[in-house]
Amino acid sequence: MELFRLRKTLDTLARKEGRGTELVSLYVPPGKQISDVMSTLRDEYGTASNIKSTTTRKNVMDAIVRVQQRLKLFKEAPENGLVIFCGAIPQNGAGSERIETYVILPPEPIRIYLYRCDARFHTEHLQELLREKETYGIVLVDSSAATIATLQGRRLEIVRELTSGVPGKTRAGGQSARRYERFREMRLQEYFTRVGGHANEIFLPIDTLKGIILAGPGPTKYDFEKGEYLNYMLKSKIIDVIDTAYVEEQGVKEVVDKAPEIMRKIRYIEERKIMQQFLYEVGHDTGMITYGEEEVRRSLEGGAVRMLLLSEGLDIRRVIVKCAVCGYQEQQSVKGPMVTGFEQSLQGKSCPKCRNPTLAVVDSEDLIEDFARLAEYTNTEVEIISGETEEGQMLKNSFGGVAAILRFKSQNQ
Ligand SMILES: [Zn+2]
């Protein structure tokens, strides 16, 4: 769950743009002295005072001060280090900039020390860290040779290369055809056993192993897959079997090129399974589901949701409306493109409490963020479902993009 939110936050941050070169990214690795970082920031503050553009100068200096304030809260760098993003972000066209600050405690130790002031936030180092958590095993096999490799994030390592020693299909003259065939079959089995042994030895100790991709030219890979050569735990992790033109390093590269496509395919399979669970409950009228924003929110607040299903690209903003005079506050959900219109509609509208025409939007966030936070309080699983499968389309079109599988039957169903 935390990883999910972090991914989401980083995606959002990566898309933010400053008006000029005025967004600060700071990476502090574990073990780094906070006092050293503070002194770097003081230098940067000094340098920033020379910036010609008044607005940019003010924004950069403001951002640095905020970063210093946040950093002061730490006596030393946390266990995994910390990352701060801070800068003036236009909220609604030019002139509407507001300073936003994000402090992120990475799930794993970061290895770089970096201060950067740019037109964007430098989120890529954290994003890479998240990707690195998953490892895929690659086994390429045909009747002449095999290659075993691991892919961790973007790091590809060819761990072992084997030659088969299996003679070709055509026998030398003078041998009995059947005897030759039996001999060849035996050599092939020995070879498969050898490949399986190496793969087991390499893959079994990797606890971040997410899946195995089997590849190679021709049908040999299917024979290898059918037999009992791979440990059963690894066998169950085979996520795809694909054709490549080559079996050695070149073949591994072919697999890596196809990797994003393979990962997407896996994710779609997962999404379908999740949605089928939901649709089963719907079809059997078990009372164990609910859908629609309001209903799901109520169930979430009551701690009744086991799994929250949200359509990807659900463009709904949760806005906070506040009265500047009496402090009256309410929350509303507004479709993304309607937010500006909604803000305009507040002008002249009177506050339900004090009757003054002083209502305004003071804050807004993505509905997904809002729900994700609610889900976190109640230990609820969150799944973002793409529109790439038929089931995903159904979630979006028939259930409003917001649905839940419940822990127990809801009282008000
Ligand atoms: Zn009021």
Alpha carbon of 100 to ligand 1 centroid (Å): 27
Long-range contact list for 289-294, CB < 8 A, 24+ apart?
A: 289/403, 289/404, 289/405, 289/406, 290/403, 290/404, 290/406, 290/410, 290/413, 291/399, 291/400, 291/402, 291/403, 291/404, 292/399, 292/400, 292/402, 293/333, 293/367, 293/400, 293/402
Residue 267's pLDDT is 76
Residue 271's pLDDT is 87
Alpha carbon of 354 to ligand 1 centroid (Å): 4
Residue 174's pLDDT is 65
Query: For 152-171, what is each residue's pLDDT tens digit?
Result: 876 789 999 999 988 887 76
Alpha carbon of 333 to ligand 1 centroid (Å): 20
Alpha carbon of 348 to ligand 1 centroid (Å): 12
Whole-prediction pTM: 0.57
Alpha carbon of 324 to ligand 1 centroid (Å): 7
Alpha carbon of 353 to ligand 1 centroid (Å): 5
Alpha carbon of 329 to ligand 1 centroid (Å): 8
Alpha carbon of 356 to ligand 1 centroid (Å): 6
Query: What is the signed CA dihedral for 168, 169, 173, 178, rounded to 10 degrees?
Result: 130
DSSP 350: P
Spans in the chain with pLDDT lower than 70: 1-2, 4, 93-94, 132, 154, 171-175, 410-413
β pairing state of 316-323 and 329-335: antiparallel
Alpha carbon of 366 to ligand 1 centroid (Å): 25
Alpha carbon of 355 to ligand 1 centroid (Å): 6
Residue 139's pLDDT is 96
Residue 227's pLDDT is 92
